[in-house]
Chains A and B, each alone.
Chain A
Amino acid sequence: MTGLALVLPPFFLLVFFILVPAAEAVLDTLRVERGGQIVYSLVRYAEMLRTVSLRRSVVFTILVTLASVGVTFALAYALALYLRFSKGWVSTLLGALFIIPLFIPTVIASFAMVTFLEHHGYVATLLHTIGVEDTPSLVFNATGIVLTEVWASIPFATLVLLAGLQGIDDALIDSARDVGAGALRTFLAVVLPLNTVATVITMSLLFIGILGSFTIPYLVGGNAPQMMSVVMTNYFTNYLRPDISVALAALSFVIAALAGAAYVGGVSHRERGAV
């Protein structure tokens, strides 16, 4: 019971300042006045799902999030594999490099990406110098959001995957190589299955983080379609429809909860296996 007493202070903070306000906000979206009486109804959610621009935003958000998670995961896995299995100056430099974005505030990362990728930005200037004129637009659209999300997410993903890889015994890899498995086969048959927990953690937490991110899509995204977090803010401040804004937030929370369930499933699977 001492344990419970020590755990309650931060839990009460969470309940009092996040969970209760969130529940209040969502309950408020369900209350509708009908003939002078307050009744509970899903009309606002129906309205939200009927609005074409909002439906597009939900689909766009999920697609951009999945693309960002996919690209980050592939890059971070390659990085983690190299850092785990290679020694030398390339490995040392990669190890110093991949951590840098963790320390750059997201507002700065987004702004830096804009100066880098914009029309007549640094990438365009470099391409112009080598004679390429028709550069596709890289920013203020989905490409810009994905690139910036990947940039900002690489350190976390690589750290978690690398720690997972460091937990794999060298002897297992050596024995796979001894019986004649090539690098690819060893990776698919030995490394990948042994690193499942790290994989699930990385993917689900990247998904939750990117889905809810506001700064990056706000500064780097385009006019339409926009990600849900930006649309929520617009509905709140510009269209003066806080109810729709909260309904969208609730939907975003439900989608995040699905990824949370994947995380819990992936991690408990390991605990059962360990016992």
Chain B
Amino acid sequence: MSAVSAALRQRAGGLFWFWSVGAFRRSLPVLFLAGLAAFILGPLLSLILWAFAGRWFYPALLPQEFSLKWWDVVFGNRSVVSSIKYSLMTAPTVTLLSALICLPAAYAFARFQFPGRRFLLLSFLSANSFPKIGLYISIATLFYRLHLMTTFWGVVLIQLMGTLLFMIWIPTGTFRGINRSLEEAARDVGASSARTFFQITLPIAMPGLLVAGLFAFLAAFDEAQGTLIVGSPNYITMPVMMYTLVLNYPQPVGAVFSILLTVPSLVLLLLAQRLLRQGYLAAGYTL
């Protein structure tokens, strides 16, 4: 056994001789950072260049001519502008509605014992596991019957489905992480259960709930397949519009629109970066 591992080590030592060079080992993290930065930022930088390119032919590293003309094309297209409006209307509505429906459930999952608790909690994993296109006919039939087809609330409802998992799992993990004795102490000094919830539990849970809201917003904002089924042709949101632009317009038009579509989420990135690293997401997935 030890002979084998010694032989292996020697072999590896031969193959990875550079591993013993100190300078290499010290610079490894920097190389990793540079590689990852190129991989993550490269596509985005290429996109930004395209959005401002008037003329750009291979193999020039930068566009031969910079221009804002594609921005005029995008803003001059009325359906593009209305898709921005619809996206900014639906995604926040979906997030708020989802919070309203799911947060009481999350609190119950974290704090109460009832039959089927674990099964019900896990069932939400199925919300995104059945491909939407397979639901096309039955969803369309159902939404026609409910007069929700091609309506604002129909789109809200279909996007809401994709947010359930985040809005239930992450807050359940958050509520569960809050020490019960804090709530009990408030109850002991005479606070009602409602007051205890709003003055003790909710403020402590807020960062975790914001992370859940963030994931729900991004899921709603990003949803295209269900929105296409239910919303078109009246309610075309930005991601749905993007399919048309990518497939039918010159590259810079898609690039300009991409930048517009990224702005709302980038604002969220700046606001939420600190929260994301605090483990609320993982707590929600470790139920």
Contacts and interface: CB of A to CB of B under 8 A. Distances in A.
Contact of A115 (B47, B107, B137, B283): B47
B225 to A, nearest CB: 6
Nearest to B115: A4
Nearest to B260: A108
Interface stretch (B66-74, B182-190, B196-204, B238-246): B238-246
Given A82-B32, A104-B44, A25 B114 contact: no
Given A7-B114, A9-B105, A108-B258, A18 B43 contact: no
Contacts of A19: 126
Given A107-B261, A160-B281, A129 B160 contact: no
A112 B37 CA distance: 15
Interface in A97-124: 97-109, 111-113, 115-117, 120-124
Contact of B161 (A18, A98, A125, A160): A18
A108 B125 contact: no
A125 B246 contact: no
Contacts of B58: 120, 124-125, 128
A242 interface: yes
B282 A103 contact: no
A112 B218 contact: no
A98 B40 contact: yes
B242 A108 contact: yes
B269 A1 contact: no
A128 B224 contact: no
Interface string A198-232: 10010001001100101100010000000011001
Contacts of A101: 40
Interface in A71-117: 75, 78-79, 82, 86, 90, 93-109, 111-113, 115-117
A97 B37 CA distance: 7
A53 to B, nearest CB: 17
B138 A160 contact: no
A239 to B, nearest CB: 13
Contacts of B33: 90, 93-94, 97
Interface residues of B, number: 92
A77 B211 CA distance: 22
Interface string B228-263: 000000000011001100100001001100100110
B117 to A, nearest CB: 7
Interface string B11-52: 000000000000000000110110011011111111101100
B102 A10 contact: yes
B135 interface: yes
A45 interface: no
B37 A129 contact: no
B160 A115 contact: no
A13 B161 contact: yes
B120 interface: yes
A28 B103 CA distance: 35
Contact of B46 (A6, A17, A115, A253): A115
B273 to A, nearest CB: 6
A229 to B, nearest CB: 6
A122 B45 CA distance: 9
Contacts of A20: 138
Contact of A166 (B30, B39, B142, B279): B279
A182 B16 CA distance: 17
Contact of B135 (A7, A18, A151): A18
Contacts of A260: 125-126, 129
Given A14-B164, A106-B222, A201-B285, A249 B131 contact: yes
Interface stretch (A30-38, A171-179, A262-270): A262-270
A11 B104 CA distance: 12
A62 interface: no
A7 B69 CA distance: 52
B61 A125 contact: yes
B43 A151 contact: yes
A227 to B, nearest CB: 11
A69 interface: no
Nearest to B98: A10
Given A212-B129, A253-B131, 17 more contacts: A7-B120, A13-B161, A22-B134, A24-B138, A25-B137, A82-B32, A107-B242, A107-B261, A112-B47, A124-B58, A125-B58, A129-B61, A160-B281, A160-B282, A160-B285, A249-B134, A263-B125
26 contacts: A4-B108, A6-B105, A7-B108, A9-B104, A10-B164, A78-B32, A94-B36, A97-B33, A100-B44, A103-B218, A105-B238, A105-B261, A107-B222, A111-B246, A111-B255, A124-B58, A125-B59, A126-B61, A128-B59, A197-B286, A198-B286, A214-B133, A214-B225, A229-B133, A236-B133, A253-B130
